[in-house]
Amino acid sequence: MSGLSEPSLMELPMESWMSRLPCALWDVPLFHLAIPGSHNAITYCLDTDDRSPIDLMQPDMLQKLDKFMKPLIRPFVYKWAKTQECCIKHQLDCGVRYCDLRIAHRPNDSSTHLYFYHGVYTTLTVETVLTEIREWLDAHPKEVVVLSFSHFLGLSQELHAVLLTTIRTVFASKLCPKKAEVTLRKLWASGYQVIASYEHSTERRHTELWPDIPYWWANKCKAEALIDEFERMKQQNRRPGGFFVTGINLTEDLKYICTHPTESLKDLVMSTYPTLLGWVKEQTPGEEDGSLNIIAGDFVSESCFVPTVVALNQKLLKRSS
């Protein structure tokens, strides 16, 4: 073996980091790699003119407010509901390979248009965003994304059928069947670029839909408390057998919002990223209990989050050398 040290994976071009991984990692299942993800990936386009009932953090928390208070509360909701600032193509360019997609149908909408939702609906439709993802994948044929479809607020069985048709039409042969072997080498050979998980019983009837991906959520608004909770979860829970997400997204409550009226979620996240990324650097991907797989965060293009997660795969190289 050469005395020269291997170049850091943190220095890879993040737009194409999967295709640039050392060949020693091409046969490692994706659920044993460290993969950077985007929590509530489409909140960069929340509808500021939306006048639907506000529903953030807890199903009825803000709906209980008197209707005359809602105009005062709504600006705060936008500041705290927005978890990403960059469009989906830019997030992918930055290296994100897991997208948390929370689907909804607007109330009193007679059309079959579907949107994304985080307390407020988005302006962009699901079909528009999925088409943008497909266009990006067309230009990056060796990159693979994991798309997690969930929540399905206001979706009837008919609207689930509309969504499934959209997923199939947009991604077509790029969809990876759930029985497939998900190593980069196998995916490249088959032309598969999309692993679509679907948090609904409908998934069982469709070979191209993967089951719901577990999401470890600490439900904390302080970085130190979040880290303590994840360390507890790592010790008390066996590692899930397939894909799973560790969400380092902080969760604010109404008390925190009201006592920090001039702040936003971005202020909270960016002030805690040094602590959170310090913890991420200590983590290890792989199949052993205590190892992590997908790590999702907020404002993922605004820090060293993505390169830090990708660089964890260096530990797999050292283990196999």
Per-residue pLDDT tens, the chain, 321 aa: give them.
Answer: 344 456 789 999 999 999 999 999 999 999 999 999 999 999 999 998 776 655 544 434 444 443 444 555 667 778 889 999 999 999 999 999 999 999 999 999 999 999 999 989 999 999 999 999 999 999 999 999 999 999 999 999 999 999 999 999 999 999 999 989 999 999 999 999 999 999 999 888 999 999 999 999 999 999 999 999 999 999 998 889 899 999 999 998 778 887 888 889 999 999 999 999 999 999 999 999 999 999 999 999 988 999 999 999 999 998 766
pLDDT in the model for residue 55: 54
Q: Does the residue 226 lie in any domain?
A: yes
160 is catalytic: no
- pLDDT given for residue 60 in this prediction: 42
Closest CA to 219 of 97, 57, 20: 57
Q: Which domain holds residue 240?
A: 16-318
Domains identified in the chain, total number:
1
Whether residue 11 lies inside any domain: the answer is no
Catalytic residue among 32, 105, 118, 160: 118
- 297 part of a folded domain: yes
DSSP line for 52-112: SPP--SSTTTTTTS-TTTHHHHHHHHHHHH----S-HHHHHHTT--EEEEEEE--TT--S-
β 121-125/115-117 pair status: antiparallel
- Helices 223-236 and 265-281, packing angle to 10 deg: 40
Residue 206 falls in the annotated catalytic set: no
Domain assignment present for residue 1? The answer is no
- The answer to whether residue 3 sits within a structural domain is no
Instruction: Output the CA angle 152-276-27, nearest 5 degrees.
Output: 70
Give me the catalytic one of 39, 105, 160, 200.
39
What integer pLDDT is reported at residue 227 of this predicted model?
Answer: 98
Which CATH number does the domain housing residue 301 bear?
3.20.20.190
What local confidence, expressed as pLDDT, does residue 302 receive? 87
Give the integer Cα–Cα distance in Å for 234 and 155: 34
